[in-house]
Amino acid sequence: MDGATALIKTLERQGVEYIFGYSGGAAIPIFDAIVTSGTAIKLILVRHEQGAAHMADGYARASGKPGVVLVTSGPGAGNVVTGLMTAHMDSVPMIVICGQQIRQMLGFDAFQEADVFNMTMPVVKHNYMVHEVNDLPRIVNEAFHLATTGRPGPVLLDIPKDVSSAPFTGSLDAPIDLPAYTHRHSVSKTHIAAIAAAWQKAKRPLILAGHGVLIAQAAPAVRTLAEAMDTPVTTTLLGKGALPETHRLALGMLGMHGTAYANKAVVECDFLLNVGSRFDDRIIGDPAQFCPKAFKAHIDIDAAELHKMIAVDVAVRGDAKESLEALTAALQPARHTTWNKHLDGYRRQYPLQYSDNEGLTMQHLIDRVYHITGGKAVVATDVGQHQMWAAQFYKIDQPRNWLSSGGAGTMGYGFPAAIGAQFARPHEPVVAFVGDGGFQMTLYELATACINKLPLKIIVLNNHYLGMVRQWQELFYDNRESGVNLEGNPDFCKLAEAYGARGIHITGLDDADAKLREAFAITDRPVVINAEVVKTSNVFPMVPPGAPLTNMIITPPATALDKPTGST
């Protein structure tokens, strides 16, 4: 057995089902071992390494299991950097294996030698250069342990070709050896008691639930606690599904493009429990003016997130589920009828809405897809206006049904992530909402989707613009458009058909519903739905970047806005 075979066998023992990969010289021994080892792991050949990384990410978010990527050295590894960053920013478990030049050539600028170990350090939880063939099983086991425990993240293995080809004489049962790594932190009883005491006194309590809730499988604990304490819940973009968004206590997403009622709840609450969100600048606006009147508590597994953006009254380092269960045990159930009625008033006064006056809008289409799929689809989005409207109008009732690049905001993420999700959940409907800009960054993966006959629906919300940037130019730069016009887009339907997918063109309000139903009836191949939508709508509500949530703009402003000075 060679190193490559030991690697594949260890991956198999880790329960890996799929490897998303793209070959090349330095990785040939590993690709060879996939064949010669007779492994049950299925290799999914992608069309670009960035696609592989986002597929593994989508697979991981949709399944909870780490996604695995295999690429060659140099340019192959270079092409996964954006995917690593995307997964790292959103705490997604992923294992990326890169081929590398042979050891004696390292440092000589040999063919396709790139210093991947140093290049990727800032965008991974941890990485390895494997120097000894017999270390491979231990390192693979460590990689899975690191990727999936504590705050999850991507781990990269750089494997020189002479290491993967060398005879393996070690043990596949190699135990992990990570003496400096700790991921379990016992939840402080004193701090839980302090949070409980403040909550018990609160008149206007609020829960803010982030991605950490879903990672820790704490969604049921959020629901139990919210119901017992009659406390409304707002979520971050990545926290969608932490409480079913159709639940009476769900306020939807907060922040820059959050619901008016969620943002008003944040401004007015007297008690805020943040569980598993890192108080990102997209949700807090001006940190100095965030949630000024409230007692603030924060639960996070990562100590580096506590007191980082917002200094809180009580910070608990620990697992979200364990902490929430401890809180539930420490609290007496309460009713907050007045507060919830007050927020219901905001729901009625400032509902999420759109008008059909100017034709087919993205909101209308997303809303229709929500109803046609019964709110049950696994939804992936790309980045831009369509992403924010999808977050507003596609309510998520179940954890792991919402895949979106939050921290990195990576255009090109949505479609390959949906492919990964469809591999993870083959019998469930998967929908990708993408922009005409972002789709063109990774649409070459139509080949991968077609070859594997994935029945996913790719909905191109085509405004012929880099819409979100155009919105900022309109609002903050006197409507001076620069580098945002996408006239000359290809015919997405013909492109789809060229790959072997179905292409369906929606031209306006009149044919939208019938065409959507036609698309959702197709189950033997991918469908690309090219929807021509109103070109220049803007996403509201909007909190200008760096401004306090009280400055939220709910309807289109009549006058020009000042240029934002805060976070980009």
Partner 1 sequence: MTTMLYAITLEVRDAPGVLVRVAQVFARRGCNISSVHVEHPAETPWSHMSITVQNVARIDQIHHQLEKLVDVHRVTINHHQDTSHE
What does the binding site for partner 1 look like in residue numbers (CB under 8 A)? 117-118, 121-122, 125-126, 129, 146, 178-181, 302-304, 306-308
Question: Is 49 a residue of the active site?
Answer: yes
Residue 468 appears among annotated catalytic residues: yes
Asked if residues 327 and 313 have their Cβ atoms less than 8 Å apart, the reply is: no
560 binds, among ligand TPP, partner 1, Mg ion, none (CB under 5 to 8 A by kind): none
Q: Is 129 a catalytic residue?
A: no
Which stretch, 83-91, 258-266, 351-359, 429-437, contacts Mg ion (CB under 5 A)? 429-437
Torsion, Cα 110 113 114 115, to 10 degrees, reads -80
Residue 112 is a catalytic residue: yes
Among 21, 76, 93, 435, binds Mg ion (CB under 5 A): 435
Work out the number of other CB atoms within 10 angstroms of the CB of residue 334: 15
Q: Which of 161, 240, 321, 457 is catalytic?
A: 161
Decide whether 180 or 329 has the Cβ nearer to partner 1. Answer: 180
Pick between residue 168 and residue 492 the one whose CB is nearest to Mg ion.
Answer: 492
* Contact positions vs ligand TPP (CB under 6 A): 382-386, 409-412, 435-438, 461, 463, 465-469
| Active-site residue (options: 49, 142, 445, 474) | 49
Closest by CA position to 406, among listed 133, 22, 117, 89: 89
Name the binder of 293 from partner 1, ligand TPP, Mg ion, none, CB < 5-8 A by kind.
Answer: none
Q: Give min distance, CB of 564 to Mg ion, in A.
A: 21
Which of 443, 536, 524, 537 has the alpha carbon at shortest distance from 491?
Answer: 443
400 binds, among ligand TPP, partner 1, Mg ion, none (CB under 5 to 8 A by kind): none
| Beta-sheet pairing, 378-381 with 430-435 | parallel
Q: Closest distance between ligand TPP and the C-beta of residue 384, in Å?
A: 2
Q: Which does 125 bind (CB under 5 to 8 A by kind): ligand TPP, Mg ion, partner 1, none?
A: partner 1
With b meaning 16 or more CB within 10 Å and e meaning fewer, what string describes 493-509? bebbeebebbbbbbeee
Strand 502-506 and strand 527-532: the pairing is parallel
Applying CB under 5 A, the site for Mg ion has a residue count of: 6
Radius of gyration of the chain (CA): 24
Answer yes or no whether residue 463 interacts with Mg ion by CB under 5 A: yes
The separation between CA 48 and the C-alpha centre of its own chain, rounded to angstroms, equals 20
C-alpha–C-alpha distance, residues 22 and 522, integer Å = 29
Q: Closer CB to Mg ion, residue 467 or residue 545?
A: 467
Closest CB 134 distance from partner 1, rounded Å: 17
Q: Are strands 295-300 and 378-381 parallel, antiparallel or unpaired?
A: unpaired
For residues 395 and 89, what is the distance between their CA atoms, to the nearest angstrom? 23
Q: Is residue 476 flagged as an active site residue? A: no
Query: For residue 288, what is the DSSP state?
Result: G
Q: Where along the sequence are the contacts to Mg ion (CB under 5 A)?
A: 435-437, 463, 465, 467
**Active-site residue set:** 49, 111-112, 161, 468
